């Protein structure tokens, strides 16, 4: 989940850096101990040092899931991109593959919560889940600047602004997806994204859903219902406790049409 901070552009020097040497040390340690099959990638740790709201351990799980599925056909999606720091990290990893990057965000802040969104962790101290509507608003220009700064081809990036039930539809979204990172916080947008992914995820596709059992109850509810509605099709796993609040989904079925 993206916690709001003073907006900064990715081109400002020496901003938002999380101790680059420590990031590299953590990256190398996790690679050796947990992710020995994760290939190296130029520029990775520099982009990890500029992450906003995504911890280093979670980022490593995201990258591991991405590379576990990258051999499948299909593109890469991020749902809930905020300032685009994680988008730039994903873009850098797929630069040489020819895969496209699909990015979805309202850019108007969090939507109205549903009845399935109960406040679990009051991260901003607002006292009510209803008061989070409109929070975490970001500017799409920041995302574009971050991707331009790393030279990711504009023709391979599809930035879709608006509420996801309107911006993510059959015929206009990715035809096939090998990996998706879902960071929508609330039940309804997560459920919509997962339903679309089920129809388009590759045979060995992976999904990481952020804020599972954190902030709003909606994320966990959406994921748990999704897995229950598709028995035997997905493997749900959790990271080590220190890594953060998210879950991992691995596609087990080869049937792309969700039957």
* Average per-residue pLDDT for the chain: 91
Alpha-carbon distance of 256 to 259, in angstroms, equals: 8
- Residue among 247, 253, 203 nearest 222 (CA): 247
Alpha-carbon distance of 247 to 115, in angstroms, equals: 22
The pLDDT tens digits of the residues spanning 179-236 come to 999 999 999 999 999 999 999 999 999 999 999 999 999 999 999 999 999 999 999 9
pTM confidence score: 0.90
Regarding the domain with residue range 72-251, which homologous superfamily does it belong to in the CATH classification?
Answer: Vaccinia Virus protein VP39 (3.40.50.150)
The pLDDT tens digits of the residues spanning 115-137 come to 999 999 999 999 999 999 999 99
Q: What is the pLDDT confidence band of residue 20, given thresholds at 50, 70 and 90?
A: confident
Q: What is the pLDDT confidence band of residue 16, given thresholds at 50, 70 and 90?
A: low
**DSSP string spanning 212-236?**
TTBSBTHHHHHHHHHHHHSTTTEEE
The average pLDDT across 75-96 equals: 97
């Amino acid at each position: 989940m993206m916690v709001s901070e003073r907006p900064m552009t990715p081109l400002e020097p020496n901003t938002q850096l999380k101790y680059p040497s420590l990031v590299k040390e953590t990256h190398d340690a996790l690679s050796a101990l947990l992710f020995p099959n994760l290939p190296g990638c130029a520029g990775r740790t520099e982009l990890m040092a500029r992450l906003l709201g995504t911890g280093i351990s979670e980022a490593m799980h995201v990258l591991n899931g991405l590379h576990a599925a990258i051999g499948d056909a299909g593109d890469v999606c991020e749902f809930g991109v905020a300032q685009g720091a994680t988008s730039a990290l994903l873009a850098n990893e797929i630069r040489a593959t020819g895969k496209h990057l699909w990015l979805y965000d309202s850019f108007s802040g969090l939507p109205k919560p549903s009845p399935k969104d109960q406040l679990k962790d009051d991260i901003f101290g607002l006292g009510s889940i209803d008061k989070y509507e409109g929070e975490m608003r970001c500017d799409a220009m920041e995302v574009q600047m971050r991707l331009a700064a790393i030279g990711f081809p504009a023709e391979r990036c599809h930035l879709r602004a608006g509420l996801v039930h309107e911006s993510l539809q059959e015929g206009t979204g990715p035809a096939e997806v090998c990996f998706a990172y879902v960071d929508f916080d609330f039940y309804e947008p997560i459920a919509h994204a997962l339903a679309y992914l089920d129809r388009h995820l590759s045979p060995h596709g992976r999904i990481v859903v952020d804020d599972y059992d954190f902030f709003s109850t909606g994320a966990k509810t959406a994921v748990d219902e999704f897995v229950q509605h598709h028995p035997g099709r997905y493997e749900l796993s959790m990271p080590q406790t220190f890594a953060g609040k998210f879950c991992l989904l691995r596609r087990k079925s080869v049937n792309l049409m969700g039957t």
